[in-house]
Each structure stands twice: as C-alpha cells, then as structure tokens.
A = this chain, B = another copy of it.
Amino acid sequence: MVRPSTRNPKLDDVAARAGVSTATVSRFLNNPDIVAAGTAVRIRAAIEEMQYVPNLLAGGLASSRSKMVAVLIPHLVDSLFDRTIETMVEELNAGGTMVMLALTGTAAGRTEAMIRAAMGRQVDAIVSTAPLSAETTALIQHFPGLFVQIWDLPAEPPGIAVGFSHVEIGHDLARFIYERGYRRPALVSAELGRARLRRDGFVKGWEAHSDTPVKEIAVDSPSRFGHARRVFAELRRQPERPDVVVCGSDSLAQGIIVEANAAGLKVPDQLAVVGFGNASVASDMRPTITTVEIDGAQIAREVNAAVRSHVSGVAPKQRSVNVGFRIIARESA
C-alpha cells in the first residue's frame, strides 16, 4: 500500500488554509448553520482541497459523544435479529453513527467483556438482545450512555426495553391453532430464554382450551432447518400423531415441510406447520408458512429514536416499548 509522504491534515491545517480558527472549523463540522455563509464556503473549499477527514476519536474524547452504538447479539448466522440489526445499522449509518457489532455466543460470560469493550469506547448506547446478569447490571450503572434491551420486555429493564411479550405469543398461538381446529399440537422449542417463555405461554394457553397434552420436543437454540429431520422422525414416532407442529423459527418450519413432503405427508392436511419470525422464506415457501410476524425493523426504528433522543439530552418517554406481534395465517396451518 502506498504510504503518504506527508501526514494527514488536521483541523489546524484546514483552519489555517481557510483563514479561520480551529473553533470555527469545528463548528462548521458539527453545526454548519452557526457559521457565516462566506466562512462556510471557504472552510468547505479547504476541506475539499486537503481531503480532510476529521479524527472522530479526538472529537469523541473532547465531546464525550462517540457517535458509536454497540449491538450485542448471540450469533450472526441464521439469526432472528438480522432484520433488526440491518435496519439499525442502515439508519444509524445514515446519521453518521457507526455500529459496533459484538457477538456474545449463547454462553454467558462473554456479554460482560463485550459491554466493557463497548463502554471503554464510550459508545452512546448499548443495545443487547441478551438479558443481563447481576454483575453486568451493576457495571451498567456506571455507563453514561443508553442501555437498550431488545426483543423482550423485562419488568425492570436496566435501561429501556423495546420488544414484545413472548408469553403472549405462545398464548395467542395456542388459541389460534385451537380455533383453526387442530387438536393434537406438538411444540418444538429450545429450552432456554425466550423460546422457553413462548413455550410456557403456549402450554398455559392450550390448557385453557383442551385437555389433550401438548407434545413437546426440545431442540438446541436457535431452531434451525437442520433440526427438522430429527424432529420429524420424533413426530412420526408418536402413537397419536400430532396434527400441527409449532416451530421456533421459520427455517425449522420449512424443514418440517420438506420432511413431510419427502415422507408423502400433505401439509397442512395431514400435518400443519407454524413458524416464527416471518422470514422472507415464510411467504415464498410452498405451501406458504403460517407464522408469527415480529417487526424487526420497527424495533430498530424505536431503538434508534431512543438513542437519538438520549444523545440530544432528552430522556426517553417510556421505559418499555411494546412493538407487538401478529400471527399471519397462510397455507401451512
């Protein structure tokens, strides 16, 4: 790579070239409206000519606003959060804020390290999908930025929360499939965290309608297409074959449909399938997949709005934002 022979220009250089003080250039950069039009023109020219790129580390240090937001998710591949992340990153990028992506894995422990790393970089906000341990919650008390928990609505979030009720989803799903006439549901669910909450909601909800027990099948988190073979095999082993299977993700639902087809079972006539997440595949699959839609982009927008208002010194209006969910009835159930 070519190394520049001269050091990169700094604010001083631009100021000198434009014949103003560094303060004025700084103002131009951060708040163009408060410098005189003529001055602005000269500064703009100087910046252009020198190819000046402001050092935002220095700026952040001086202003203690880093224009960075940390986002913590367990994984990236096959993640339910991809649309949320994508929307957050796009919107924030457009506003000049960058997103630091931190992967915490499914085990605990790494979350705290990532939060420290984020705090050390003076991020304006930390957005996390994972609930916090007691130690981490203590750590967050010293964090001057905004802490946002997403995809869930804990009763007492350490900062603010933007999400929805997993219990309610389970509950509504139970009613939904009962009303559609299904009577022997199987529930494929991971055993931890939110999947667990949905499971609890579902089982409780189902008990309100029927005495038939819910057949439960556990999978690793997150629910994936690859689980389908084993899950389907287990379904077939049941003495009373379930008439509907409720999955923890659309890709697992898709996998079940594929397995059912391969086994010559008609979906939904012989086995109905319900997904979760409304991934794009849910509407493209044949049959199209009945699923629960979470508006991930909406979560992102709420988070971004909260971050923006926090940065400009306004306290967020509410501790919790419930973006809700929607059961989308399609062909598969």
Contacts and interface: CB of A to CB of B under 8 A. Distances in A.
Contact of A116 (B2, B53, B118, B158): B53
Q: How many copies does the complex hold?
A: 2
A146 to B, nearest CB: 7
Interface string A65-86: 0101010000111100011011
A102 B77 contact: no
Contacts of A121: 56-57, 68, 98
A60 interface: yes
Contacts of A142: 4, 8, 51, 53
B77 A82 contact: yes
Interface stretch (A163-171, A175-183, A189-197, A257-265): A257-265
Nearest to A1: B159
A318 to B, nearest CB: 13
A252 to B, nearest CB: 10
Interface in A275-315: 280-281, 283-286
Given A1-B140, A86-B103, A100-B101, 15 more contacts: A51-B139, A55-B120, A57-B121, A76-B76, A76-B86, A77-B86, A85-B101, A90-B105, A93-B113, A93-B114, A98-B101, A98-B121, A226-B281, A261-B261, A262-B286
Interface of A: 1-4, 8, 51, 53-58, 60-61, 66, 68, 70, 75-78, 82-83, 85-86, 89-90, 93, 96, 98-103, 105, 110, 113-114, 116-122, 139-142, 144, 146-147, 158-160, 224-226, 228-229, 251, 255, 258-259, 261-262, 280-281, 283-286
